[in-house]
């Protein structure tokens, strides 16, 4: 999860691609790829390609199926959500903004470490 300031606008997940946004939404909703495949009728191997990070992009039809299944917009999956300065504080508490800002400054390796640690901690709860 990232927030990047540009011209008094904030962009949530803007720099991420479809695969990363899809992955984050699946984790957030606690949905397995197999379940998404069953919901959408899209082969698991095709969904794996979207998530692999090799820049594989879905057809418009598949993007719509995925977005509808997850209850999000295609635009969100493709480019993230724009958040104005005015409503940023209502969207994220100061604690979360600090976490996001700190996370954004980490190297890719350390970001992955944080994600792995978080997932591990959640599994232990």
Spell out the per-residue pLDDT of the chain, length 125, in tens.
444 333 333 445 445 788 888 988 898 888 999 999 999 999 999 999 999 877 788 999 999 999 999 988 888 888 776 555 555 555 566 777 788 778 878 898 998 999 999 999 999 98
Distance of alpha carbon 76 from alpha carbon 85, whole angstroms? 18
The DSSP string of 14-80 is: TTS-HHHHHHHHHHHHT--HHHHHHHH---HHHHHHHHTTS-----HHHHHHHHHHHTS-HHHHHH-
| pTM of the predicted model as reported, rounded to 2 decimal places | 0.56
Instruction: Find all residues with CB under 8 Å of 85, minimum gap 6, and list them.
Output: 8, 9, 10
């Amino acid at each position: 999860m990232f927030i990047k300031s540009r011209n008094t606008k904030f962009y949530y997940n803007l720099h991420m691609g479809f695969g990363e946004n899809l992955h984050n939404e699946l984790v957030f909703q606690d949905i397995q790829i197999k379940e998404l495949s069953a919901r959408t009728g899209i082969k698991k191997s095709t969904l794996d390609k979207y998530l692999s990070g090799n820049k594989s992009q879905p057809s418009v039809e598949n993007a719509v199926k995925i977005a509808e299944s997850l209850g999000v917009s295609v635009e969100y999956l493709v480019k993230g959500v724009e958040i104005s300065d005015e409503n940023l504080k209502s969207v994220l508490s100061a604690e979360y903004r600090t976490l996001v800002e700190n996370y954004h400054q980490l190297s890719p390796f350390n970001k992955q470490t944080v994600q792995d640690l978080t997932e591990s901690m959640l599994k232990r709860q």
